[in-house]
A and B are shown apart, each in its own frame.
Chain A
């Protein structure tokens, strides 16, 4: 267990006005960047790094962490409003977030995403502070076989739960797996399916694939449904602010879903090679 003196010393260093100011600036900037599909918090952090050269290291880290955290939530904003995830991590948010927005509650959906994001993040931070060492031990025990088993488990659940046809879900999963083989073969280092485009040596970018699969599909769907009164994320006139508010009862009713998500995200996030996108889908599937 970590020493309380070290933790309280860390809090004393972190909770200064300057640090909090830069955290707030970072979160604001991260949300804006995260809300733009295709850019994401990693690129925002890369752009922000030169600005941190003139800052105290603790302030700089606070700023960068703020950008990252803000960006991860910012990705949920377009995922909910226009069915286009700002970051790959927010792809699972489109599944239920956008339908809630389309039903006339876009503000409520966005607020719920914010509260769930903050809750999950706080839980994982507490776990990181208190259980980082044992969790790292568990992560080190996970070899390629265990990771493959987890991925197959995730693929099976997603294929079965998303959509109305198991066969179509499996076809989509296999097509995604085929797309993942584009680029250099990790075993032999030889290129596959690059069709003369050297840009494909690194494989198909996850951001490009996510935008192509979700955003372009959404554009097609909306264009096709333009002559009908298709679902659009608008706030119905006359709807009071209460309908857009997330009450304590709403929040509390999601406690188990958030706890499951936090647990799955924390454990899978500690394992190298799986990533937060798969963790988000797995959490969604388990809750569903």
Chain B
């Protein structure tokens, strides 16, 4: 996949997102109002039209840099998927289990071999987060 094709696809993705906003998301997630000049869905609709239009322009012009490397794109996609899964898992099993597990997966993805850094990421960072947020600030973690 070359740079131009990626730019065109990303433009089409934004155009599709704009269309989805106009057709489904905005009608379903904004309330209607019979009065006032600036209705609840006015600004979101302007943004949606702009996204759809600019996305189409991007698909036609296809300018700017892109990430053409398949390996790097795959790694980023994998990390994004793992991050999403972790957020879901935090709601199910809590931060103290999901946090270190996520750190361990990330450390594996970046192929870290130094034991001190592995321990710092898997144990140290989640522990520090827990101490600062839960103990010091008194705020709950998931």
Give the B-binding residues of A (Cβ under 8 A): 36, 39, 43, 47, 163-168, 170-171, 174-175, 177-178, 181, 185, 187-188, 190-195, 216, 219-220, 222-227
Contacts and interface: CB of A to CB of B under 8 A. Distances in A.
Contacts of A224: 67, 69, 72-73, 75-76
Given A171-B54, A224-B73, A224-B75, 13 more contacts: A167-B54, A167-B58, A167-B61, A168-B63, A174-B51, A177-B43, A177-B47, A178-B51, A187-B39, A188-B31, A190-B33, A222-B110, A225-B72
Contact of B40 (A36, A174, A185, A216): A185
A220 B84 CA distance: 13
B34 to A, nearest CB: 10
A247 B133 CA distance: 39
Nearest to B139: A43
Contacts of B64: 163-165, 167-168
Contact of A188 (B29, B39, B111, B132): B39
Does more than half of chain B's interface fall in helix, strand or loop, or is it mixed?
helix
B132 A220 contact: no
A139 B54 CA distance: 35
B79 A193 contact: no
Interface in B27-79: 29-31, 33, 36, 38-41, 43-44, 47-48, 50-51, 54-55, 57-58, 61, 63-65, 67, 69, 71-73, 75-76, 79
Contacts of B63: 164-168
A137 B61 CA distance: 47
A223 B47 contact: no
Interface of B: 11, 14, 21, 25, 29-31, 33, 36, 38-41, 43-44, 47-48, 50-51, 54-55, 57-58, 61, 63-65, 67, 69, 71-73, 75-76, 79-80, 83, 106, 109-111, 132, 137
Given A171-B54, A185-B40, A194 B29 contact: yes
Given A219-B79, A223-B75, A192 B44 contact: yes
A43 B83 CA distance: 27
8 contacts: A47-B137, A167-B57, A167-B63, A167-B64, A178-B21, A181-B43, A187-B33, A190-B31
Contacts of A219: 79, 106
Contacts of B40: 185, 187-188, 190, 192
Contacts of A188: 31, 33, 36, 39-40
A43 to B, nearest CB: 7
A216 B82 CA distance: 12
A181 B47 contact: yes
In the A-B complex, the 7 residue pairs with the closest CB atoms: A165-B64, A224-B72, A178-B47, A190-B31, A185-B40, A174-B50, A226-B110
B46 to A, nearest CB: 8
